[in-house]
Amino acid sequence: MSTEVEFGGVKFTGGKMFALITALSTLGGAAWGGFEVYKDYMDMKEIIANIDTTEIANRQKQIEIKLEEAISYTRDIKSGLRDDILGIEKQADRVEDMVRATEEKVRDQIQIAEGRFENKRDQLQNDYDQKAGALRDTTVRKIKEVEDRLNKRFQRALDNPLAN
C-alpha cells in the first residue's frame, strides 16, 4: 500500500513526499533564520541610531585632557630627573676634585715625612757613629792608660824586684 498525496495537481508518493516535506521544512527554517537576522539588523540599526555622539565626544575630550596632563606631568618628571642627574654629576665632579686634591696633599705629606725620616735616620746614624767613635776613642785611650800604668808598674817591678 502506497500512500499518495496530491498537491497542486501533482501526485506524490512515499519517497517524494519525504523529499517534499524536507524541502518545505528547509525553506521554512531558512525563512525563519532570515527573519531573525533581519530583526537583529533592525535592532542594531535602532541602537546605532540612538547612540549619543555628544557623550562620546565629551568622553573623548576628557580622555584627551587627561592625556595632555599625563604628557605634561611626564615632561615635568623628565625635566626634574635631568636636573637631578646634572646635580649628581656636578657633585660627583666636585667629589672627584676633592679626592684628587686630598690625594695630592697626602702624597706631598708622605714625601715630606719620608724626607724627615731619612734626615732623622741619617742624623741618628751620624750620632751613633760619633758616639761609637767617641766611645771607641775613650775605650782605646783608657786601655792605653791602663796599659801605660801596667807597663810602668812592670817596669818598676823589673827595675827594682825587691821593692814590692
Q: Provide, rounded to the nearest whole percent, the portion of the chain with pLDDT above 90.
A: 50
Largest CA distance in the chain: 197
pLDDT per residue as tens digits for the range 47-59: 777 777 788 888 8
Per-residue pLDDT at 15? 73
The total domain count for the chain is 1
In a domain, 25, yes or no: yes
Average pLDDT, the chain: 87
Give mean pLDDT, residues 129-137.
90
> What is the grid cell recorded at 37?
537576522
Give the domain range for residue 38.
1-51
* Side chain identity, residue 42: M
In a domain, 41, yes or no: yes
10 — phi, psi (to 5°)?
Answer: -120, 140
In a domain, 98, yes or no: no
SS (H, E, C) the chain: CCCEEEECCEEEEHHHHHHHHHHHHHHHHHHHHHHHHHHHHHHHHHHHHCCCHHHHHHHHHHHHHHHHHHHHHHHHHHHHHHHHHHHHHHHHHHHHHHHHHHHHHHHHHHHHHHHHHHHHHHHHHHHHHHHHHHHHHHHHHHHHHHHHHHHHHHHHHHHCCCCC
Per-residue pLDDT at 157? 81
In a domain, 157, yes or no: no
In a domain, 44, yes or no: yes
In a domain, 10, yes or no: yes
Per-residue pLDDT at 13? 75
Per-residue pLDDT at 161? 67
Per-residue pLDDT at 64? 93
In a domain, 146, yes or no: no
In a domain, 46, yes or no: yes
